[in-house]
């Protein structure tokens, strides 16, 4: 019977002792955290011992190119700049798209039965970009958009 009473006392006493020790530990921990927060606030309110003096810099872009404008000169802008001097306009070369391969690592197009990619040149026209709708080429200071022929447009799966 005595062993049973000791077992019951131990069953209830030790958990209560454990929980109360956790509570007491938390009380002291909260107090130490509060003191460390007070120290941080005190450090923030004090004036800095040293200030850094930096010279003022002014941005002057006089005579420089606007970085947001295209570096490609359009013929209409060139004509306005010359004011009256007529330049002979060279027509774009005859380029026909037979197909476009896009969506992989390198977009390619078949133009005039030749396989080309961005950066290649065909009949004096440099390939600027290739997308699913067509090809953009740069020829004699102008950009031209070559579209896929009607009936050959790419269709996306639904």
More confident: 24 or 154 = 24
Identify whether residues 96 and 147 lie together within a single domain: yes
Identify whether residues 45 and 104 lie together within a single domain: no
In a domain, 102, yes or no: yes
In a domain, 100, yes or no: yes
Q: Give the rounded distance of the alpha carbon of 154 from its chain centre.
A: 28
Q: What is the extent of the structural domain holding 3?
A: 1-49
**Per-residue pLDDT tens for 78-108?**
555 555 445 567 777 888 899 898 888 899 9
The domain that holds 104 is classified in CATH as 2.30.30.830
Task: Give the 3-state secondary structure of residue 103.
Answer: coil
- What is the rounded distance in angstroms from the CA atom of residue 66 to the CA atom of residue 151? 41
Whether this model's pTM surpasses 0.75 = no
Q: What is the number of domains present in the chain?
A: 2
Among 148, 145, 118, 121, CA closest to 132: 148
Of all residues in the chain, the percent with pLDDT exceeding 90 is: 17
Whole-angstrom CA distances from 80 to 22, 75, 83, 144 are 85, 9, 5, 20
């Amino acid at each position: 019977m005595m062993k049973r009473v000791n077992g019951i006392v131990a069953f209830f006493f030790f958990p209560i002792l454990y929980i109360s020790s956790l509570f007491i530990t938390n009380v002291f921990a909260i107090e130490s955290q509060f003191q460390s927060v007070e120290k941080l606030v005190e450090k923030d309110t004090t004036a800095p011992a040293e200030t850094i003096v930096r010279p003022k810099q002014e941005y002057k872009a006089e005579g420089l190119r606007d970085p947001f404008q295209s570096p490609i000169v359009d013929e209409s802008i060139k004509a306005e700049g010359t004011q009256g001097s007529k330049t002979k306009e060279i027509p774009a070369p005859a380029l026909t798209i037979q197909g476009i391969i896009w969506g992989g690592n390198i977009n390619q197009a078949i133009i005039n039965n030749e396989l080309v990619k961005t950066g290649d040149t065909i009949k004096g026209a440099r390939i600027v970009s290739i997308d699913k709708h067509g090809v953009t080429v740069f020829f004699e200071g102008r950009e031209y958009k070559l579209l896929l022929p009607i009936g050959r447009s790419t269709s996306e799966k639904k």
